[in-house]
Chains A and B, each alone.
Chain A
Amino acid sequence: MKRLFAIALGILTAIGGFVDIGDLVTNAAVGSRFGLTLVWVVAVGVLGICVFAEMSGRVAAVSGRATFDLIRERLGPRVGLAALLGSMAVTFLTLTAEIGGVALALELASSIQYLLWVPVVGVLVWIVLWRVRFAVLENAFGLAGLALIVFAVAVWRLGPDWSPLVHEAVRPAVPSTEDTSTYWYYAVALFGAAMTPYEVFFFSSGGVEEKWDAGSLRTMRANVFIGFPLGGLLSVSIAAATAIVLRPQGIEVSTLGQVAVPVLTAFGTIGLVLALIGFFAATFGAACETGLSVGYSVAQYFGWQWGKFVEPLRAARFHTVVLLSCVAGVGILLTTVDPILVTEYSVVFSALALPLTYLPILVVANDRTYMGNHVNGRVANGLGTVYLVLVVVASVAAVPLMVLTGAGQ
């Protein structure tokens, strides 16, 4: 019974924790412009993050090594450093976007300008990372993030004409109002939003924090293969909701407030309250995860002591990196840069940075010396290879598409 409860809790937090500011904004923006014609990318991205997270979680459980440990050992100190700088920059950008997202959610709830909330949020995130236990952090925000289910219910409540929506989703085509290059730009953005590198750093390092071993593999897989796809379904429901309500009016989502409009339309104030709780939990939880992930990746590259399972004084370098990232993230937001814009860039750069973190995991998951009989099977390797190609293609295409489309304008 206790075990079942643990698995259920893991799945629920995986669902609630799946969505972050990148998923919220990108899915809502895509829904309002492209309807459901890009849903297939979310499906591809979610399967990709399942494959990637399952491999890195399995490697962490069996060998005890988290992702950046392996990146350094397989790629060496120079290429490893390039991977570190690239993914740290992206993770830091994501942290900045998440802090901005929390502040925007608080602005919507309080009508106090978000810039006033930014330093408060920065301090709160840091306090949580400094003092709150890892399990509490993961479970509390994951469960509160489930409030976003209101989007799925809203789609139902709005009672759309299903046949054109389904048709769009299963037979995708570029909408006549949009360029092909813009369509593909948003495809890369959605892919990056689903497969952000920090999710894997956090997932595998979390496995080490929670002292996974080979016996934890079943729970881990349940979280990944049930929790992540259901989380992906939440992403799709956000896109569907904006496609139903905003697209007919020609409104393109460019603020967090607009993301909540469909729920407001469907349920009034109570819907808005739930959506705001969901936004807050999802972004705050992700802010904590990204903050930790910056620390995890640097510390693992250099072999420093990291983690919340040791007390702060034993991991002073790790906690210094976490502290500095929170301060710097707040600093960037206080330049009044638009957090939504930061989010849009962060998901595209995620796609750019992915290959150098993905490749070493795929390789080590095949190393019998570490993994014994837990090496990749045929399915994992088949999917792993397909995604290696996809990840490289998305990475190569990201910047040209960004330049070509003026970042999706």
Chain B
Amino acid sequence: MNAGPGHEPGVLEAGQPLSLRLRLLDHQVLGHDKEMLGNVDDVALEERDGELAVVGLLCGGAAWAKRQPGLLGRWSRAVSVRLDAREAPRPLVLPLDHVLALDSAVHVDPWSEGVLAGEARLELWLRRHVIGRIPGALGGDHPFGGDLRAVPLEDPDLQPTPDTHLLSSLLGAAVVTADGSDAGTVVEVRARQASALSSRVGPLVVTSVVHGPHRLAGGLGYRDDASMGPLPLGAAVRWWHRHDVETSWDHVHGVDWVQRRVHLSSATR
């Protein structure tokens, strides 16, 4: 699961669950030469035969804007739409097959590098109209430094389908037990590699959801490592999240993606 020399061991070990919020969402995306290609602004999920599969990563302003509340979210969505030449722009979903490794960053293959560099519309616009006009602007001979054209990608593989759901709408969703009582909100979603033999990260299947009364500080990482310090901070965070429950995805009856509710089946916990 290493992308090459110089990488620390990946966070994904065969058979071990991967915490999607902690280890994937909001992480830096890097190319083979550590080009910074964006952030994992959201994660695409799809329901397939009763399983929830992680199918891809969403990168870019549109996906980021969706996760911002109120006016800020609306304005930043409007900006990202204006930067896109297409008539009905949809955020790009980078298939998980193109992710080579996960460590503190998300390492993608050369094909994705080109796609993501061409998707960075603000970068391309500023390169052409602002920075490129300043004397001494170097870097034009690098494949990502030249006058890349923002090609509107219409590749159906990179488009979200009507069945594509977002990790960000699952996180924070209300969890309801079979008898209708409140079981808090989703604070973490865990997945595991479907086949351990793959040299790449995908495919990933969701195995469980962690839910509880508090969302705050749920993403700091104290749940995944029981001995993680410093002691007082760890103790405080674990105490704050002491009512968190991990429910296997087998016990999830269904997800209402519109109302953002996770319904559990009767035999839970």
Contact = CB atoms under 8 A, between A and B. Distances in A.
Contact of B138 (A213, A312, A381): A312
A72 B130 CA distance: 27
Interface stretch (A21-29, A299-307, A346-354): A299-307
B180 to A, nearest CB: 29
A386 to B, nearest CB: 10
Interface string B54-81: 0000010000100111000000000000
B89 interface: no
B139 A311 contact: yes
B231 A76 contact: no
Nearest to A319: B131
Interface stretch (A86-94, A147-155, A367-375): A367-375
Interface in B121-164: 122-124, 126-127, 130-132, 134, 136-140, 142, 144-146
A312 B38 contact: no
Contacts of A314: 35, 139, 142, 144-145
Contact of B140 (A75, A313, A375): A313
A304 B123 contact: yes
Contacts of A310: 139, 142, 145
Contacts of A311: 137-139, 142, 145
Contacts of B34: 64
Nearest to B10: A369
Given A65-B28, A77-B26, A316-B126, A366 B131 contact: no
Interface string A76-113: 11101100000000000000000000000000000000
Contacts of A384: 230
B232 interface: yes
Interface in B168-221: 219-221
Contacts of A312: 131, 134, 136-139
A297 to B, nearest CB: 14
Interface in B102-131: 103-105, 120, 122-124, 126-127, 130-131
Contacts of B233: 362-363, 385, 388
Given A77-B68, A363-B233, A317 B122 contact: yes
Main secondary structure, interface of B, reads loop
Interface string A306-332: 100011111011011001000000000
A76 B123 contact: no
A368 B225 contact: yes
A78 B233 CA distance: 22
Interface in B221-244: 221, 224-225, 228-234
A166 B66 CA distance: 59
Contact of B64 (A77, A317, A319): A77
Contacts of A78: 67-69
Given A74-B219, A131-B136, A303-B29, A313 B145 contact: yes
A313 B138 contact: yes
Nearest to A375: B229
Interface residues of A, number: 52
A310 B138 CA distance: 9
Contact of B8 (A63, A81, A300, A363): A63
A302 B123 contact: no
Interface in A44-88: 62-65, 69, 72-78, 80-81
Given A62-B8, A81-B68, A302-B38, A366 B126 contact: no
A156 interface: no
A372 B8 contact: yes
A80 B26 contact: yes
A367 B144 contact: no
Contacts of B67: 77-78
A372 B9 CA distance: 9
Given A77-B68, A303-B39, A376 B8 contact: no
B52 interface: no
Interface string A351-364: 00000000010111
A49 B225 CA distance: 27
B11 interface: yes
Nearest to A317: B123
Contact of B230 (A76, A306, A381): A381
B230 A376 contact: yes
A14 B6 CA distance: 28
Nearest to B39: A303
Contact of A316 (B8, B26, B123, B234): B123
B28 A320 contact: no
A369 B103 CA distance: 8
A157 to B, nearest CB: 45
B35 A305 contact: yes
A408 B146 CA distance: 52
Contacts of B105: 64-65
A155 B179 CA distance: 77
B14 interface: no
B27 interface: yes
Interface string B1-27: 000001011010000000000010111
B245 interface: no
Q: Which of B9, B28, B67, B137 has the most chain A CB atoms inside 10 A of its CB?
A: B28
B11 A362 contact: no
Interface in A272-301: 299-301
A24 to B, nearest CB: 32
Closest 5 CB pairs of A and B: A311-B139, A303-B39, A313-B139, A381-B230, A63-B104
Given A76-B26, A313-B142, 16 more contacts: A63-B8, A73-B27, A76-B219, A81-B68, A213-B6, A302-B64, A303-B36, A304-B38, A305-B144, A310-B142, A310-B145, A311-B138, A314-B144, A316-B131, A362-B230, A384-B230
19 contacts: A73-B25, A74-B220, A77-B68, A81-B68, A302-B64, A303-B28, A303-B29, A303-B38, A303-B39, A310-B142, A311-B137, A312-B139, A313-B146, A317-B122, A363-B220, A364-B221, A369-B23, A369-B224, A381-B231
